[in-house]
Amino acid sequence: MRVRLKLYAMLTDYLPPEAQATNSLELDEAPDATVASLIERRNLPGKLVHLVLLNGAFVPPEERALRCLQEGDVLAIWPPIAGG
């Protein structure tokens, strides 16, 4: 199953160098992959996994282990950030 992972801000460093220019990486995930399992498999530090959007929609921390990924999903993650 192909999904796209996008990592921003300080999490950019957790992408391979060739993916850092676009902050985006295509992954081949197992059919039973969840948001949480993908985060764990990429070894993303918990304190930097703050804002998680699946296809643009917010995934609360307590739902990450329950949310199964689908073919073509876009999972985007940010550390604690703000703006205005």
Partner 1 sequence: MGWTRKVLRVDLSKGTCTSEPLNMALAQQYLGQRGLATKYFVDEVDPKVEPLSPANKLIMATGPLTGTSASTGGRYSVITKGALTGAIACSNSGGYFGAELKFAGWDMVIFEGRSEKPVYLSIEDDQVELRDAAHLWGKTVWQTEEIIKKSHQDPQVRVCSIGRAGENGVLYACIVNDLHRAAGRSGVGTVMGSKNLKAVAVRGTGGVAVRDGKGFMKAAAAAKKVLADNAVTGQGLPTYGTQVLMSVINEMGALPTRNHRDVQFEGAGKIGAEAMRQKRPSDGHAQLVTNAACFGCTIACGRIAKIDETHFSVVNKPEYWGASGGLEYEAAWALGAANGVGDLEALQYANLICNEDGYDPISFGATVGAAMELFELGILTEAQIGMTAPFGSAQALTKLAEMTAQGVGFGKELGLGSKRLCAKYGRPELSMTVKGQEFPAYDARGIQGMGLTYATSNRGACHLRSYTVASEVLGIPIKTDPLVTEGKAELVKAFQDATSVFDSAGVCIFTTFAWTLADLQPQLDAACEGGWSMEKLAELGERIWNMERQFNLAAGFTAKDDDLPPRLKTEPAKTGPAKGLVSGIDKMRPEYYQARGWDGQGVPTRETLARLGL
Note the residues at the interface with partner 1 (CB under 8 A): 6, 8-10, 12, 21-23, 47, 50-51, 53, 55-58, 60, 74, 76, 78-84
Rg value, the chain, Cα: 12
* d(C-alpha 15, C-alpha 56), whole Å: 20
- 42 or 50, CB closer to partner 1? 50
Minimum distance from residue 10 beta carbon to partner 1 (Å): 7
Give the three-state DSSP class for 4: strand
The answer to whether the beta carbons of residues 66 and 34 sit under 8 Å apart is yes
Minimum distance from residue 18 beta carbon to partner 1 (Å): 13
